[in-house]
Amino acid sequence: MAEICQRGMYKTFPRSGKNTSFTHYCPGCGHGIINKLIAEACEELGLQDRTIFVDPVGCGVFTYYYWDAAHISAAHGRASAVATGACRARPDAVTIAYQGDGDLGAIGFNNAFQAASRGENFGCIFVNNSLYGMTGGQMAPTTLEGETTTTTPFGRDPSLTGHPLHVCEVFAQLKAPVYIARVSVADTKRIMQAKQAIRKVFEIQRDRKGYALLEILAPCPTNFKMNALDAAAFCINEMEREFPLGVFREEGRGMGEEERGKGEEERGKGEEASVLSLRPVPHAASCHDLFLEKDAAPAAVDDPSFPERRFKFAGYGGQGILSLGLCIAEAARLERRHTLWFPSYGPEQRGGSANCSVVVSGTPIGSPAVEHPDVLVCMNQPAYERFAGDVKKGGIVIVDETVPVETRPPEGVRLVRWPAIRMAEEFGVPKAANTMMLAALKKLECTGLSDGSLEKSLVASFKKKPALGEKNRELLRKAEQTEF
């Protein structure tokens, strides 16, 4: 493979056992642009040998594969705390913390805020894409009012979940920071401004002037459920309305009255800054959307005679394993059962491992965590090896027939091998392997839910593409004719 030489970056990235020259970011992701700008600034200023990057947990987790400098990985939300240690231990170094908005604005807010208040000698580059990217698009403190995320499927409602957090404006109340600014990477002009601001953060650290915070508005097309152009337009038209671009603190002095006034003016400029005009983001069909409209499924009703069932669905991202779990949860909702769906992801949005837990119960559910499932569905070998030993006695493991079953599940657990992937291919719809697995669950009667609800939920999962819904129903019925 040809090597792409990027300034300040390694020539190739030995990620996941492969030597690639591509990053793991989705097409159109702001992180990809920001990573490149940071690498360039570091190299142009001749600071690579002096720079310590503190890497986050979030979509930016793999920056140590990309930037050719020293790295320390911090636990989620702890980059500013780790950067404090690094810049104190190595005062000669240029220390840069890289954090997402979940990382800095939620779990790590106090770390970051106190470090800024102490005026630690590091630069914090804070990527605000208005949600938790890596874990599948949950609400972050920066989520806009009305914005649809997986945990605000009907739009963020401030009366329930508060208002968006303005990190720059809050940090600008502190005495110590020498530089606080907000930029964006949504178009070329903004990218050039972002580049200058990133250089400034490095220069401040090079000259040991103090704490600097740079917030960068960034598109996340995958979780906005938009193409790259629409995601960039969302950044400009919606995010900037809430988070105006600008400099909130210039070296050593607080934001004066003049600048404060300018900020307010900026806020009102152009389009009207009306909350009402912020429509919920129109998302395309996704495994993360609830299939059923808000009022389609009434609230759960207690029924102690319905035993609790715990499910685990596991495989690679892209195999529809999360949708399959959600299909069961939505079918349970249709039957007014208590239910929870709890997804879990690897760091890569595409092709990484994914699993979800589903609990269906006749009584309120205490915890969404499923450590010992009654039913385990595995689409690949790592999933089988990781979870098969945990299945409850009397439980069942359904595994795709392509998965080598080298170790047996525990005694008293039934193992069923099922040709989900092969059948989907033979039926001419390879993506429907998850529907084939649903057929196995139905045949084995292990959901406790009626055929009608399961089919209705399956069809509803394709609400934006009704023809596909009907096709999948047909394939489901066809697959059920197959003998074990």
Alpha carbons within 13 A on the beta-carbon side of 264: 6
CB closer to ligand TPP, 58 vs 373: 58
- What is the smallest separation between the CB atom of 297 and ligand TPP, expressed in angstroms? 27
Q: Using the rule CB under 6 A, is 133 a contact of ligand SF4?
A: yes
Q: Is 148 in the site for ligand SF4 (CB under 6 A)?
A: no
The answer to whether 129 contacts ligand SF4 (rule: CB under 6 A) is yes
The burial of 235, by beta-carbon neighbours within 10 Å (0-12 exposed, 13-18 middle, 19 or more buried), is given as buried
In the bound complex, what is the minimum distance in angstroms from residue 137's beta carbon to ligand SF4? 7
DSSP string for residues in 42-56: HHHTT-GGGEEEEE-
Three-state helix/strand/coil letters over 83-133? HHHHHHHCCCCEEEEEEEHHHHHHHCHHHHHHHHHHCCCCEEEEEECCEEC
Give the side-chain half-sphere CA count within 13 A for 55. Answer: 19
Tokens 């892209």 sit at which residue?
318
Nearer to ligand SF4, 235 or 436 (CB): 235
The residues in 337-376 that bind ligand SF4, with binding defined as CB under 6 A, are 349
Q: Which is nearer to ligand SF4, 95 or 142 (CB)?
A: 142
- Residues 444, 311: contact at Cβ < 8 Å? no
Q: How far is it, in rounded angstroms, from Cα 355 to Cα 345?
A: 7
Report in angstroms how near the CB of residue 81 gets to ligand TPP at its nearest: 12
25 near ligand SF4, judged by CB under 6 A: yes
Signed CA dihedral, 194, 196, 202, 208: sign only: negative
In the complex with ligand SF4, which residue's Cβ is closer, 133 or 177?
A: 133
Task: Indicate which of ligand SF4, ligand TPP, none lies near residue 29 (CB less than 5 to 8 Å, by partner kind).
Answer: ligand SF4
CB of 389 to ligand TPP, least distance (A): 24
Using the rule CB under 6 A, which residue among 31, 78, 288, 471 binds ligand SF4?
Answer: 31
- As a three-state string, the secondary structure of 10-23 is CCCEEECCEEECCC
Q: Is 29 in the site for ligand SF4 (CB under 6 A)?
A: yes
What is the contact surface with ligand TPP in residues (CB under 6 A)?
Answer: 57-60, 75-76, 100-103, 107, 127, 129, 132-135, 140
Sequence-distant (≥ 6) Cβ neighbours of residue 453 within 8 angstroms:
331, 332, 334, 335
- Is 98 or 179 the residue whose CB approaches ligand TPP more closely? 98
Instruction: List the structure tokens of 172.
Output: 């600008």
Closer Cβ to ligand SF4, 25 or 316, answer by number: 25
Size of the site for ligand SF4 (CB under 6 A): 13
Q: Which helix (H) or strand (E) holds 429?
A: none
Q: Which is nearer to ligand TPP, 100 or 210 (CB)?
A: 100
Residues interacting with ligand SF4, by CB under 6 A?
25-26, 29, 31, 59, 129, 133-134, 220-223, 349
